[in-house]
A and B are shown apart, each in its own frame.
Chain A
Amino acid sequence: MVTDLKVNQIKQKDYRSNSLWRLTLRRIFRQRSAIFGMALLGFLILIAIFAEVIAPYDPIQPLIGIENVSKREGPCIHLFGCPKDRPQHIMGIDGNVRDQFSRVLYGSRYSLYVGFTTVSFAILVGTLLGAISGYFGGWWDNIIMRLMDVLMAFPSLLLAITIVSVLGPGLQNALLAIAIVAIPVYARVVRASVLSVKEQAYVAASLALGGSHFHILLRRILPNAIPPLIVQGTLGIGTAILDAAALSFLGLGAQPPTPEWGTMLGTERNQVFTAPHLVFFPGAAIMITVLAFNLLGDGLRDAIDPRLTHQK
């Protein structure tokens, strides 16, 4: 009995060590940039979750009459010699006399939310379209992919601006616009994987065994598309966050008083010289977030992409 168990355990261990996921994970951990990106991202997610606990102030409550601070006051950090009797504001005060630090913290929620929802939506729709066009081919393929080509022919931000202008400004509409603009990328990735896999013998075998199209597509073909999608999606989140910030900067995305980084930049863009902290911190926050996703995405691609596997 005892030995049997051990053998079982060993077998299981062996089995696991050979699994694709474990291999990939190990490869990812070998990528220094990916680890850094992941750490940064983890940090950002923690900030987003615990914003309420960390933020010293309400991000939309003007401090007029509550504290003796004035509009667009510079940062006041006790550690760096700001008088102790002054209230501490790590990133200063914004134009509406609100604590900039709290706003930047809360901003992470919107950015991550924007990134994940738009990309999930785009992946969902893109996968569906890509799978249909790749698997069924013919007319379906032609119609769907030409539509995607048309979408891709527009500069993405311009198309997003057009969509938002039609739907009306607001965070929800901006999300929708960014998601729609991102769909073709994922549809192409999925279609490429489907095309390369659907001629494989095991797919034919599954078909011969009487598997339905749905079953074959979902269980036999699409799993192959997941790794490139993960890579593309991670990089896509960075782009989506940037696009959302750009839309908000133009006043088409999140509306005041929402503490969204792009909106914060947009409302204070005229004060670059008089109150640089009001554009520096949200700008830096956007940069860090996008950097995290890009590093992670690059690392993932190096780890997952089979064509790159043997290069190291």
Chain B
Amino acid sequence: MKAKKFFGVLVVLIIAGLALAACQPAATPTQQPPVQQPTTPPEKPPAEQPTTPPQAGFEPMVYGVETCDNYNGIIKEIAALDELTVRFTLCVPDPAFESKAAFTAFAIQPKEWIEAAMENRQILEKPIGTGPYVLDSWKRGDSIIFKRFNDYWGEKAKTETLVFRWASEGAARLLELQSGTVDGIDNPSPDDFQVIRNDPNLRLIEREALNIFYLGMTNTFEPFDKVEVRQAVAMGIDRQRIVDNFYPAGSSVATHFTPCSIPNGCVGEDWYEFNPEKARELLAKAGFPNGFQTKIYYRDVFRGYLPEPGLVATDIQAQLKQNLNIDAEIVVMESGAFIDESTSGRLNGFYLLGWGADYPHITNFLDFHFGRANPQFGKPFPEIYELLEQGARIADPEEATPIYEQANNKIKELVPMVPIAHGGSGVAYRADVVGGHASPLGNEYFAVMDPGGRSTFVWMQNAEPISLYCGDETDGESLRACEQVLESLLGYEIGGTEVKPALATECTPNQDLTVYTCKLRPNVKFHDGSPFDANDVVMSWVVAWDYKHPLHIGNTGAFEYFSYLWGLMNAPAEE
């Protein structure tokens, strides 16, 4: 009887095991094709291309709006003049065109690949670019592996393989670096800086503070609608104390919203001195002699501009209580929700947010935050954005200085937010890594790094990229991964902010900065072997630009950077 039962159970187990085993192989083959597929369609174009002679088969693409009236965008037309020339016609003069065009969000992918892979979202996981590395595989939740691209037009990558890994905890990243399983890590905790400096096997490179951390307020909520309240907060917080205690060396107290190393960044008056008595007076004048109750929102995410979010929030809470008798409750939010709520101006208290430079131009800081359409500080201030719109049209920084002086003074007077610090951060490498650097824009370029002769370079950053279609990503962790694979018309110098040629050998403006003509680099090949031409540039830009384009899909479909830097065509009226 017992034996019967036992065998019965055994039979059931075996059947269950067989069923499982039968399911498994069935699951793997179905997964494999999508991995292989990306390599098949790319192989088709090179087969087709040779049959049609390049000169004869080239039909230049032209794409544009008819008129600049009733259109908030900057670009009027993008036209491929011939195979290696693209002309950008703008509605308004844009002195920052080259800085912006160098940004990774405007990287070029083959026209055929965009057409083939956008709709089925393959492009999110499998970008095809011209960069020094080719994407090999992406194990979600674990790592991304890149291989050297042997047909790269420039200097080939030093290592055969590049691996991206991630860990959100600073301590965990450092531990991996110390144990030698990774060659470089991003953003070690400020407290670990000294540990790394003292370790002969490691090398710390400080990243220039090209960012801003600010205390945001939304002026559509009481009591932040009163300018006196905002000014009181500006004077009632000892910012030096925050920087001294919670920021690593290389950080500085913000005198202006924009860091000083950016032209015109800190012209005009310096920010208010810490003055609690005056602040209390102002608060009393605004009708809050005994302070008020509010909240401090933040997300618990390490950023170069805010290395210790929890501690800074607690310190600001203590300072508000002590200096202004404001009772602030601390609320930690999930990162995505926090960004959504804060940037759309729905937080009814203070919020801790910052900004890292995407491209080194003052418009990247001021125009984004204080522009006409940004609701993150509540109702935008015309006093500020009118000046900014004026300034953005002047190419020569010196000529624009008086305007930015006024704009900075207005920001100080109206206090949409309180700029607190430009946070220094760092990158740490193993000591034998040659060519290690820290980029102020956060786009470290691994092709030039040689990890002591090893064939694989392993990089560990804070988080996993969201997708590798960076036209529709804004997150630095995604952009950095894209930068290894994809290239834009122009690029930034390695470890710096100067704009240098990349896929375009030069982009020359006309007299009044409304037409830029870009000469493309000849004989550049994409990772799939297809040649790079002007139509690829037009297509890459147009899918992001035209809201009604059938391939305007991306990841979320927001195309935030394109929308904010250039403006979208056919954008819905609400925006």
Contact = CB atoms under 8 A, between A and B. Distances in A.
B171 to A, nearest CB: 5
Interface string B167-211: 001110011000000000000010110010000000000000000
Contacts, number: 58
Nearest to B168: A270
A256 B171 contact: no
Contact of B191 (A60, A96, A251, A275): A275
Contact of B311 (A70, A267, A275): A267
A273 B318 contact: no
B260 to A, nearest CB: 26
Contact of A274 (B195, B314, B315, B331): B195
B112 interface: no
Contacts of A271: 171, 189, 191
B310 A256 contact: yes
A260 to B, nearest CB: 13
Interface string B239-260: 0010011100000000000000
A65 B189 contact: no
Given A71-B246, A95-B308, A270 B317 contact: no
A274 B245 contact: no
A119 interface: no
Given A64-B245, A256-B330, A257-B314, A270 B169 contact: yes
Interface string B204-243: 0000000000000000000000000000000000000100
A255 B246 contact: no
Contact of A273 (B171, B300, B310, B314): B171
Given A64-B241, A72-B191, A95-B308, A251 B329 contact: no
B171 A267 contact: no
B315 A96 contact: yes
B16 interface: no
Contacts of A251: 300, 332
A309 interface: no
A257 B317 CA distance: 8
A61 B318 CA distance: 7
A269 to B, nearest CB: 8
A97 B245 contact: yes
A271 B430 CA distance: 22
A256 B313 contact: yes
Nearest to B171: A270
A251 B298 CA distance: 12
B336 to A, nearest CB: 16
Interface in A32-81: 60-62, 64-65, 70-72
A10 interface: no
A92 to B, nearest CB: 13
B351 to A, nearest CB: 16
Nearest to A97: B245
Interface residues of B, number: 26
Contacts of A61: 318
A272 interface: yes
Nearest to B170: A270
Given A96-B315, A251-B332, A267 B192 contact: no
A114 B315 CA distance: 26
Contacts of A95: 308, 310-311
A274 B192 contact: yes
Q: Is the interface of B mostly helix, strand, loop or mixed?
A: helix
Contacts of B244: 64
Contacts of A169: 331-332
Given A62-B318, A256-B314, A272 B171 contact: yes
A257 B322 CA distance: 13
A275 B191 CA distance: 9
A96 B311 contact: yes
Contacts of A275: 191
Nearest to A270: B171
Contacts of A256: 310, 313-314, 317, 330
Contacts of B192: 274
Nearest to A71: B245
B311 A255 contact: no
A97 B195 CA distance: 20
A182 to B, nearest CB: 26
Nearest to A271: B191
A169 B334 CA distance: 13
Contacts of B195: 274
Given A65-B241, A96-B314, A256-B314, A270 B300 contact: no
**Most interface-central of A60, A95, A270 (chain B CB within 10 A):** A270
A94 B189 CA distance: 16
A275 B171 CA distance: 11
B315 A255 contact: no
A231 to B, nearest CB: 38
A9 to B, nearest CB: 61
Interface in B456-490: none
A198 to B, nearest CB: 41
A65 B318 CA distance: 13
Interface in B22-76: none
Given A72-B191, A95-B311, A272-B171, A60 B329 contact: no
Contacts of B189: 270-271, 274
Interface string A248-286: 000100011100000000010011111100000000000
Nearest to B245: A71
A307 B171 CA distance: 51
Contacts of B171: 270-274
A65 B241 CA distance: 9
Interface string B430-451: 0000000000000000000000
A267 B315 CA distance: 13
Nearest to B191: A274
A60 B330 CA distance: 14
B166 to A, nearest CB: 16
B328 to A, nearest CB: 10
Contacts of A64: 241, 244-245, 315
A96 B318 contact: yes
A169 B317 CA distance: 17
A95 B309 CA distance: 11
A149 B346 CA distance: 41
Contacts of A272: 171
A107 to B, nearest CB: 16
**Most interface-central of B192, B314, B331 (chain A CB within 10 A):** B314
B239 to A, nearest CB: 12
A300 to B, nearest CB: 39
A251 B300 CA distance: 10
Given A62-B315, A270-B170, A255 B191 contact: no
Contact of A255 (B169, B174, B175, B330): B330
Contacts of B246: 71
B318 A60 contact: yes
Contact of A267 (B169, B245, B310): B310
Contacts of A62: 315, 318
B241 A255 contact: no
Interface in B272-324: 300, 308, 310-311, 313-315, 317-318
Interface of B: 169-171, 174-175, 189, 191-192, 195, 241, 244-246, 300, 308, 310-311, 313-315, 317-318, 329-332
29 contacts: A64-B241, A64-B244, A64-B245, A64-B315, A65-B241, A71-B245, A72-B191, A95-B308, A96-B311, A96-B314, A97-B245, A169-B331, A169-B332, A251-B332, A255-B329, A255-B330, A256-B330, A257-B318, A257-B330, A267-B310, A267-B311, A270-B169, A270-B170, A270-B171, A270-B189, A271-B171, A272-B171, A273-B171, A274-B191
Given A62-B315, A96-B314, A257-B314, 13 more contacts: A61-B318, A64-B245, A71-B245, A95-B311, A96-B311, A96-B318, A255-B329, A256-B310, A256-B314, A256-B330, A257-B330, A267-B311, A274-B192
Would you list the 3 A-B pairs with minimal beta carbon distance, nearest first?
A: A274-B191, A256-B314, A95-B311
